[in-house]
Chain A
Amino acid sequence: MGALEISQIRKEYGILQVLKGVDIALDDGGFLVLLGSSGCGKSTLLSIIAGLAEPTSGDVLLDGKSIVGVHPKDRDIAMVFQSYALYPNLSVARNIAFPLEMRKVPRADQERAVAEVAKLLRIESLLDRKPAQLSGGQRQRVAIGRALVRKPKLFLFDEPLSNLDARLRSEMRHEIKRLHGILGTTIVYVTHDQVEAMTLATQLVLMHNGQVEQQGSPSQIYDRPRTMRVADFVGSPPMNFISGKVSNGRFRGETCPIEFDYKGPDGACEIVMGIRPEAIGVAISGQASAIEIAADVNLVELTGPEQLISTRVGGQELVLTAPSGVDVSPGQSIRLSIAPESLHFFEASQGMRL
């Protein structure tokens, strides 16, 4: 159906390098999410796959065939846009049928395909309406319908949920995941929302500054971030970082009175230790293997099921999450326990994982 291979894609506008040699491989039926902050080049990469922009150099292969230079309509792709991009004066049914109409598919086949897609997306009752009469979520369903109707090899989604409110966004997220489960088509999905990225992706690519920072499954990205940047970007609240030095097999924090036997990989003595907020606990009784430190509570934010506790340890702020039942209040001194196996170590100069 649609295996995608992107090799050494570069895109330059004058002296501005937007993409600096991107390599990505995606198996047929995979769900690839391009994640990154704005300006990282993820949307440009999607435009290049779609054929709306041409790369300065490099190649894009779909099922082993190069599609660079091929007209967008001949690439066998479909795209869903953040702004829905529906045709304003056509009805929902004609919007969905539009790609078929342009390809001169017989009218009866068009109608059958539209009915099928409408049923799949549960928009049968909207077919006679104009886009202006629809809500944001309904419009995005129609836009997805228009992409689905042609059964292309590859779907491209450009931040499709960013214009929706929080509730609709999670509803449509489920919808897209459900559709991918049913149809099994290859998808490339651009977002800056890490929840979307983590929940939808089979392959997650984190981009930064025109380059791939890390590609892997969501759990690989979350559990074994390759760089400090990845560790910082993925996870909410973000990972805590503590700079320190390793000497004689002991790690000593620089700005924070933390000290323990360093059992991580060798190779550097200037080290940044990373610890996710959920890997820090409020110590109840001394657990043998845990690292314990004293901390002062600055701020407690209850989110519902859990609370975010900001604490100060020496000159360093540490954020942890705890179940809402744990009784802490600002100004209180508590002890934090950290499991050594949940620590991440990065070398300080480049931020690469050790």
Chain B
Amino acid sequence: MNTAWIPRQAWLLALPLMAVMVTVIGYPLFDTIRLSLTDARLIGSTGNFVGLNNFAKLVSRPDFLQALSTTAIFTVVSVSAEIVLGVLTALLLQQRFVGRTLLRALMILPWALPTVVNAMLWRLIYNPEYGALNAALTQIGLLEGYQSWLGQPQSAIWAIIVADVWKNFSLVALISLAALQAVPRDVQAAALIDGAGIVQRFRYVTLPYLAGPLMVAVVLRTIEAFKVFDIVWVLTRGGPANSTRTLSLLVYQEAFAFQRAGSGASLALIVTLIITLLAVFYARLVRRTEEMK
């Protein structure tokens, strides 16, 4: 049979998709790169070619470095906490107890909530006049008086991290719970007979089956966390004193609030580059974890 026509036919069939991709992803990406090399303003000036000037200026700007460090702290802390909490929750929900089915169903709720709704919820909890957190902490005596959790530079980022962890640990728990179903019962039984304790059983029996799916969760969560915008925007708008301004917020401010389209585009490209590098690094890690088995 002559199959030489297949590649040509295949290209033809893929053409509509390619056309859409080029229009909605290819062109904006190209245009962003073009913009990043100009000093264009959002309104008024279409800009002149300035080469890599925008990039050079950005990397020495203190607000960029501050946003980078804020984003890094947010990402590392929230993803680590989500992984630990998610795995512990999954292990708990793997035990047999009355009400397990109900809890397993409820567990997905935080993740299913829209981020904005979640953020509004936490704004109420953190409210400095009638918030539940203040009430709870003063009533059990851990706190003297009500605090403005989102209004103080030293606590605001941590308050956002807690809200983000609460929302996203349930995704990690769900992925872990699914992975736990793949741990063979015989291996668990063998470990029990061989005398492995609870920590060793987790390490040698559970973890090998959990590691792969967990790495996928880490990749997803890290990339999401690194480009975080909405939860911060609703809770603090980057304040107080820019202490919670993440890179995505800075991009927004640069490009739209300060109307510096060229410089904003450069910043957006830097964020994209960092995320791409992270993704590649993690993809290798996932492959290595899978090969270990």
* Chain A residues with CB below 8 A from B197, complex form: 102
- In the bound complex, how far is the Cα of B200 from the Cα of A102, in angstroms? 8
**Known A-B contacts A88-B208, A88-B293; A81 and B190 likewise in contact (beta carbons under 8 Å):** yes
- Write the nearest CB–CB distance from A203 to chain B, whole angstroms: 23
Contact with A along B185-204 (1 / 0, CB 8 A): 01101111111110010001
Determine which of A52, A85, A98, A102 lies in contact with B184 in the assembled complex, contact meaning CB atoms within 8 Å.
A85
Please tell me if the beta carbons of B293 and A79 are within 8 angstroms of each other in the complex: no
The answer to the question of A72 belonging to the interface, with a C-beta cut-off of 8 Å to chain B, is yes
Residues of B participating in the A interface, judged by any CB pair closer than 8 Å: 184, 186-187, 189-197, 200, 204-205, 207-209, 292-293
Residues of A participating in the B interface, judged by any CB pair closer than 8 Å: 50-52, 72-73, 75, 77-79, 81-90, 98-99, 102-103, 130, 132, 146
Give 4 new A-B contacts, CB below 8 A, not counting A73-B194, A85-B190, A89-B293.
A52-B193, A73-B193, A81-B190, A85-B186
Please tell me if the beta carbons of B193 and A102 are within 8 angstroms of each other in the complex: no
Please tell me if the beta carbons of B194 and A52 are within 8 angstroms of each other in the complex: no
- Write the nearest CB–CB distance from A245 to chain B, whole angstroms: 52
**B interface secondary structure, majority:** helix
**Known A-B contacts A50-B189, A78-B193, A103-B195; A90 and B204 likewise in contact (beta carbons under 8 Å):** yes
Please tell me if the beta carbons of B190 and A79 are within 8 angstroms of each other in the complex: yes
Determine which of A79, A87, A103 lies in contact with B189 in the assembled complex, contact meaning CB atoms within 8 Å.
A79
Please tell me if the beta carbons of B194 and A146 are within 8 angstroms of each other in the complex: yes
Closest to B188 in A: A85
Please tell me if the beta carbons of A50 and B193 are within 8 angstroms of each other in the complex: yes
* Chain B residues with CB below 8 A from A84, complex form: 186
- Write the nearest CB–CB distance from B205 to chain A, whole angstroms: 7
Determine which of A77, A83, A87, A90 lies in contact with B193 in the assembled complex, contact meaning CB atoms within 8 Å.
A77
Closest to B193 in A: A72
- In the bound complex, how far is the Cα of B126 from the Cα of A37, in angstroms? 64
- In the bound complex, how far is the Cα of B187 from the Cα of A82, in angstroms? 11
* Chain B residues with CB below 8 A from A132, complex form: 293
Determine which of B184, B192, B207 lies in contact with A83 in the assembled complex, contact meaning CB atoms within 8 Å.
B184
Please tell me if the beta carbons of B293 and A85 are within 8 angstroms of each other in the complex: no
* Chain B residues with CB below 8 A from A98, complex form: 194, 196, 204
- Write the nearest CB–CB distance from A106 to chain B, whole angstroms: 16
Please tell me if the beta carbons of A99 and B208 are within 8 angstroms of each other in the complex: no
Closest to A50 in B: B193
Closest to A52 in B: B189
- Write the nearest CB–CB distance from B9 to chain A, whole angstroms: 40
- Write the nearest CB–CB distance from A143 to chain B, whole angstroms: 8
Q: Looking at A86, A88, A146, which has the most chain B CB atoms within 10 Å of its CB?
A: A88
Closest to B291 in A: A132
* Chain B residues with CB below 8 A from A78, complex form: 193
* Chain B residues with CB below 8 A from A89, complex form: 204, 207-208, 292-293
- Write the nearest CB–CB distance from B181 to chain A, whole angstroms: 16
Closest to A152 in B: B193
- In the bound complex, how far is the Cα of B184 from the Cα of A86, in angstroms? 10
- In the bound complex, how far is the Cα of B207 from the Cα of A83, in angstroms? 19
- In the bound complex, how far is the Cα of B189 from the Cα of A83, in angstroms? 12
* Chain B residues with CB below 8 A from A85, complex form: 184, 186-187, 189-190
Please tell me if the beta carbons of B189 and A99 are within 8 angstroms of each other in the complex: no
- In the bound complex, how far is the Cα of B184 from the Cα of A52, in angstroms? 14
- Write the nearest CB–CB distance from B103 to chain A, whole angstroms: 24
Please tell me if the beta carbons of A99 and B187 are within 8 angstroms of each other in the complex: no
Return 8 A-B CB contacts under 8 Å, by A number. A72-B193, A75-B193, A85-B186, A86-B187, A87-B187, A87-B208, A88-B293, A99-B193
